[in-house]
Structure 1
Amino acid sequence: MAFNKVLTVTLFLAGLVMAAIPVAAQSNSPFCDSASGICFQGYTDPELDITIGLVLPDPPTDEFIVQMVAPASYGYTGLSVGGTMADSLLFTLWPNGNDIVLGPRWTSGYVLPEPYAGPQITLLPDSTVNSTYIKATFRCQNCTTWTDGSLGSGDQGAFQLIAYVAQTTTPPDDPADVGSTIIEHDDFDFFGMNLTQAQSTLYSSYIAGGVASTTSLPTTTSHPSSTSAPPTTTSSASGATQTEWGQCGGQGWSGPTACAAGLTCVAVSPPYYSQCQA
């Protein structure tokens, strides 16, 4: 995953092989999701058909809520909340049948980003995937600072560039694996975000309605329209066991390491990530 457009004359987002293209940055605007009732600041790209939304607590803490909506036909969709590929907190998203595969990544250079330990991702119940779109609304805790970077360069009232990418044709090597190898995106863009405008006093109510799953490096979770109810995991509960596809180990993981009956903790992307599998 790489980002490489130019904002005005001086801001460069370098990519792997694509030439820099001068553009004017789009800016954020408010929108509310009818399914969840969450109101975001964000942007909808009319050409890529991708929507990115963000909402922060007021006053800010170490977390935020993100919404990513993209065509289900894409191989994957990516997001950089730091605006660049290198030294930024990244997210990759794709469907695997009726499942949503979502996880944080990071890289120090313009090479394949690897799964990144630290962020705690909670997929919210309005997340869904069908034959047309994949939609992931997720709470990200421990997400405003990361290795060699931070949201708004440490000022959550500042301007932030938000970048997004799409690989429109080629899926990951293993769509069931959140840490799968992916090829370079074939399209991308970015927009400017006023982080002050993204802060909301309603934030606590947005996260109070329950969750679909909670992991540090999430893999897959059944979407709300599937025949079985989405799994729920509680990483902080004493003696808790993890459900199928939930994280059970890996670098920096402090949640449950025991899997529910009939499941085994499998190293999927060692040493970063292990998950419970049947």
Structure 2
Amino acid sequence: MKDFFKYTTVSEEDKNWGLYINVAGKSTIPSNIQYPIKNHPNGYFFNWKNGRTLNEYQINYITDGSGVLENSKGKFPVKAGTLMIIRKDEWHRYKPTKSDGWVENYIGFDGLFANHYLQQNQVLLGQSVIHCGVREDIIDTYYKIFELIQNEDPGNQHIASGLIIKLLGYIVAWQKQKDFFGKPIEKLIQHARFYMREHIEDDINLKKLAEQNCVGYSYFRKMFKKYTGISPHQYHLELKLMRAKELILTTDKPLKEVSYELGFQSIHYFSRLYKKKMGHNPSEVRNTVK
């Protein structure tokens, strides 16, 4: 894709959507060039001495070259495959290495959903740079956003904003998965999840499952939670409750039998736990299909 820069026209409807794009562009900065270059867009120009703050979020993807990003958190090296996350109202500055230059792909966006994702998500919250490599799925998402922004067809802001969320999803997923790529613990976690799905009704000894694979349970539990977001016990319990919901809605089995079949201690414990986790009593769910 050729270099370009484009401000977008943002309507009240776009703002009410909750996430909208202000600017997007791609720029190739050759080596031995003063940065920012003279034709750097108005409103985004800065000098290295003073840096800048923006009234929006930006995610800049460097697909070639190298450089540095500085903000209030510190100084971070940038290389090909680095995502730079610029937060609203955060002082920052960045530049390519003079001998290398770089290729930057950038999107500036804002809105209530942007605030939520960039200020609340624990993965995104503390990140300034993410070295994820030059990934086809990420650059493809950028290019699709670029096409939408350049075409300016009605509703394109709404589609592009969805792709921003997709991009953030890729970033979060990569951050969560990077510690597991190609490691034995990932295979064990996948095996454990499959085993739990195949034995929903059983009382599984998770400690024994870990020990059989020569892994201490505390480490297994920690990594399982990091991988899935919940503990192994909670994961198995969630499977049981989803299976219970399926049986309640699709069979005529008495609730006591459903409770017994899934290994709960008593119908009272089952009902109390079901309501706590699912929001309704099992009997209320059963009544919806009568």
* Class of the TM-score when normalised by the shorter of the 2 chains: under 0.3
Give the TM-score, by structure 2 length.
Answer: 0.24
Q: Please state which structure has a larger fraction of its residues in helix.
A: 2
Q: Please state which structure has a larger fraction of its residues in strand.
A: 1
Give the TM-score, by structure 1 length.
Answer: 0.24
Q: Which has the higher contact order (CA 8 A, sep 6+)?
A: 1
